[in-house]
Amino acid sequence: MLQRLFLIFVGVYLAGATCWVLWSARVRDNGSTIQLLNAACDPTRELWREINTRFAEHMQRDRGETVAIRQSHGGSSSQARAVIDGLDADVVTLALWSDTNAIHKAGLIEESWEDHLPNRSLPFVSTIVFVVRKGNPKGIKDWPDLAKPDVKVITPNPKTSGNGKWSLLAAYGSVILRGGSEADAEQFLEKLFGSVPVLDTSARAATMTFSQKKIGDVHLTWENEAFLEVAEAKGELEIIRPAISVLAEPHVAVVTANARRKGTFAAAEAYMRFTYTPEAQDLIAKHHYRPTDPEAWERHKDEFGTLEMFDVAKLTPGMNNPGDIWAELNRRFFSEGALFDSIYTRLHGGGKAK
């Protein structure tokens, strides 16, 4: 009778679902298909989608191996946290050195990882530019314009997002490198963050806030993200390049502990090395990241505007290796109680928020 049939159906369904859940609790070797997980920072979604397809074709054609790559995206520091917590990534393609290094410090990436891949593990670099509304009504041309009282700035939270950190460093550096003192730079940052109406957790969220929700007058973002945003906006937005900005270096790395444990090390290596091939470098340029291969750069450099990019090492004079540089940058700007925290507390006060 109908009720009995229904109960049987439910029973079978539940049994099936439970089996599936239990089955997915095992890390398994997928037979012939190699499964790779790329834990990436937020704005690189479109880039990796294309590279992954090409890489899979390449592996199939040249090595006869079937590779399936999955992506996880989120704020750079969030993703680092997830990998440390157990997200079983084979490679990480995050936004800055210290996030990748945090994974190394947790024992998941091997020593001297930076030297493991060409060009200090940088298949591409980028920078921070401005996106403004059509016609640039507030006349924003360079960093000092961001401190104007009627200008609202959109940038993600430096605590969670690579974009956020790079924006802060770029803003700070813009003052220092033009001869300003630390006090001047701090004041500038305070004015800047005082005009941020919404603090999103990741780059893409900030992009949505600026372009979809139409909040803010200027958006500080990755150059590649800016291109994408402007294209999606169909004429409503434009890119403004300040004269000077930070050289943003998003390192890539194989998560050696995970890859070796899962037996995917060779494939993961091949995956990362693939990003340096001319084919991939062209894709990288197509998505508006600056390729690091000199020949590729020659081919594409006209697609990028000119601006002077400074290395963050300039903000920590006297230090040479990235470990020291980033430790100092974190200590000064991003850690608990450092500059960003104290600016925020000064701006919004200790005590009751009203």
Partner 1 sequence: MQNDSAAVAPAADGNSAVDLASFQPRSQARKDPRWVRYLLVGTTYLVIGLLVAVPLAHVFFQAFSAGVGAYFQKLLGDKDTLHAIFLTLMVSPVAVAMNVVFGIAAAWAIARFEFPGRALLVSLIDLPMSISPVVAGLVFMLVLGLQSSLGQWLREHGWQIIFAPPGLVLATAFITFPLVARELVPLLEAEGADEEMAALSLGANGWAMFWRVTLPNLRWGLLYGIILCNARAMGEFGAVHVVSGRISGQTDTLPLRVEKLFQEYDIQGAFAAASVLTLVAILTLIGKSLLERKVHQG
Partner 2 sequence: MRTITRRVLPGFGLTLGLSVTYLSLLVLIPLTACVVKSLDLTLEEFMRAAWSPRARAAYWLTFECALIAALINIVLGLVVSWTLVRYKFPFKTLIDALVDVPLALPTAVTGLVYASLYVKGGWLGQFLTPLGIEVAYTKLGIVLVLIFTGFPFVVRSVQPVLAELDSDEEEAAAVMGSSRWHTFRHVIFPHLLPPLLSGFTLAFARGVGEYGSVVFISSNMPFKTEIAAVLIVSRLEEFAYREAAAVAVVMLGFSFVLLVLISLAERWSQPHAK
Query: Which residues of the shown chain bind partner 2 in the complex (CB under 8 A)?
Result: 75, 77-78, 80-81, 84, 102, 157, 159-160, 196-201, 213-215, 336, 344-345, 347-353
Min separation Cβ 53 and partner 1, Å: 13
- Residue 233 or 307 with smaller CB distance to partner 2: 233
**H or E segment and range at residue 238:** strand 237-240
Min separation Cβ 59 and partner 1, Å: 19
Long-range contacts, stretch 270-273, CB < 8 angstroms, 24+ apart: 270/55, 270/59, 270/63, 271/36, 271/38, 271/55, 271/67, 271/69, 271/90, 271/91, 272/91, 272/117, 272/123, 273/117, 273/118
Residue 190 amino acid letter: E
- Residue 237 or 343 with smaller CB distance to partner 1: 237
Does position 37 bind partner 1 by CB under 8 A? yes
Using an 8 Å Cβ cutoff, are 167 and 155 in contact?
yes
- Residue 102 or 122 with smaller CB distance to partner 2: 102
Does position 25 bind partner 1 by CB under 8 A? yes
Structure tokens at 244: 């000077």
Structure tokens at 163: 């974009």
Q: Which does 150 bind (CB under 5 to 8 A by kind): partner 1, partner 2, none?
A: none
Structure tokens at 107: 């024992």
- Residue 41 or 309 with smaller CB distance to partner 1: 41
Q: Which does 26 bind (CB under 5 to 8 A by kind): partner 2, partner 1, none?
A: partner 1
Give the CA distances from residue 282 to residues 45, 53, 123, in Å, rounded to whole numbers and listed in that order: 17, 14, 11
Residue 240 amino acid letter: I
- Residue 60 or 212 with smaller CB distance to partner 1: 212
Q: Which does 352 bind (CB under 5 to 8 A by kind): partner 1, partner 2, none?
A: partner 2
Whole-angstrom distance, CA of residue 308 vs CA of residue 314: 13
- Residue 205 or 220 with smaller CB distance to partner 1: 205
* Interface contacts to partner 1, rule CB under 8 A: 13-14, 17-18, 20-22, 24-28, 37, 45, 70-74, 82, 84-88, 106, 204-205, 208, 212, 232
